[in-house]
Structure 1
Amino acid sequence: MDLREEQTRDRDRVGALHREAFGGEHGEVVARLVDDLRHDDPTALSLVAEESGEEAGGLVGHVMFSRCRLDAPRRLVDVVSLSPLGVAPRRQRRGIGSALVRHALQELDVRGVPLVFLEGDPRYYSRLGFSPAVQQGFRKPSLRIPDAAFQVVKLSAYEPWMTGTFVYPDTFWRHDCVGLRDPDTEN
């Protein structure tokens, strides 16, 4: 498997991968989110996993890390959010997502990013170094995010004064990709 930065030629395949990985309407929302994040944040780190060797030819994973802010008491801090991470269903549970995230965290550390936030399953992401952000003094951008799902990893540029409220850019709000909606409530 080859891990590399996404190229323009990969975009349609990345969209198809997220539609398949997330399924249904949610897969379409995630694919549109990725398209808009590419446009709104040209500095986003977008990595793909591509099969090599006998299985060559297909993209089997994608992860994106885009610019966000931390509203710290001292000043705004540039941070990133891991969203989305998708792996082709036929290739899940084989370490592809983990490999993408680990590779990206190394690159983000080299780039001087101090903090990486996400919303996700703590059982999965804790294996990759993420831990509950609320327990470390960070505030969620929405009450719809469960405390356990709001996670952070501190990289080497992190300094102890960097606490405060995590702030998503407008792109996540436009696509309603922050927190969980109550399925029992009407629009």
Structure 2
Amino acid sequence: MQIRAETPADHPAVGRLVELAFGGDHGRVVAELVTALRRDDPNFQAFVADDGGEVVGHVMFTRNLLDAPERLIPVQVLSPLAVSPGRQREGIGKALIAYGITELTRRNVPLIFLEGDPAYYSKWGFVPGHTLDFRKPSLRIPDPGFQVMPLPGYRPEMTGTLVYLHTFWDYDCVGLR
């Protein structure tokens, strides 16, 4: 299996994968969100797990903002992460996350935020956002699910409220409903 940057040729396979991984109506919405994020964030970073020409995993990072006391700070949001249902628990998600963290560190990104299961994401160093004085962008996000990973570009004065790219709101993909 190879982890590599997503290419336009991967888009149809990624859409099918995301739809299957998230399931039902929600899967269709998340697949549409991925397409919209590509459109709305021209500098997005997306990576695929390619197993012999088959896309079996996908992760996307998009530019969002931290509303810090002195200025807006560009940060990244990890969303979504999808692994083919038949290939889960094989380390594909882990490999995608690790690859993305390495790439974003190399690009001097200070922080990666996400909404997700703390038991899963804490394995890679994500911590609850409130422990570093970050505020979540919506009350619909459970406190434990709002997580952040400081990268080497992070400085303690970087604190404030995460501001999602409008696309997450447009597709109602913020927090729990």
TM-score range, shorter chain: over 0.9
Partner of residue 139, structure 2: 143
Q: What amino acid sits opposite 2:5 in the alignment?
A: E
Residue 101 (structure 1) aligned to one of 97, 100, 116: 97
Task: Tell me, in whole angstroms, the C-alpha distance in 2 between the residues paired with 1:42 and 1:3.
Answer: 21
* Cα offsets for 1:119-159 (capped at 9, x unmatched): 00000000011010012100010000000000000000101
Residue 47 of structure 1 aligns to a residue in which SS? strand
Task: Tell me, in whole angstroms, the C-alpha distance in 1 between the residues paired with 2:99 and 2:145.
Answer: 22
1:124-143 equivalences under 5 Å are 124-143=120-139
Mapped contact 1:113–1:155 kept (Cα < 8 A): yes
Q: TM-score, normalised by structure 2?
A: 0.99
Partner of residue 21, structure 2: 21
Q: What amino acid sits opposite 2:144 in the alignment?
A: A
Cα distance, 1:57 vs structure 2: 2.5
Work out the number of aligned pairs and report it.
177
Q: Structure 2: state its 5+ residue gaps.
A: none
Q: What amino acid sits opposite 2:54 in the alignment?
A: G
For the pair shown, the structure with the greater C-alpha radius of gyration is 1
Residue 180 of structure 1 aligns to a residue in which SS? coil
Cα distance, 1:80 vs structure 2: 0.6
Mapped contact 1:65–1:80 kept (Cα < 8 A): yes
Task: Tell me, in whole angstroms, the C-alpha distance in 2 between the residues paired with 1:48 and 1:57.
Answer: 11
Task: Tell me, in whole angstroms, the C-alpha distance in 1 between the residues paired with 2:23 and 2:175.
Answer: 18
Cα distance, 1:42 vs structure 2: 1.4
Partner of residue 115, structure 1: 111
Task: Tell me, in whole angstroms, the C-alpha distance in 2 between the residues paired with 1:146 and 1:156.
Answer: 27
Q: What amino acid sits opposite 2:12 in the alignment?
A: D
Residue 157 (structure 2) aligned to one of 157, 161, 171: 161
Sequence identity (%): 58
Q: What amino acid sits opposite 1:130 in the alignment?
A: F
Task: Tell me, in whole angstroms, the C-alpha distance in 1 between the residues paired with 2:141 and 2:173.
Answer: 11
Partner of residue 184, structure 1: none
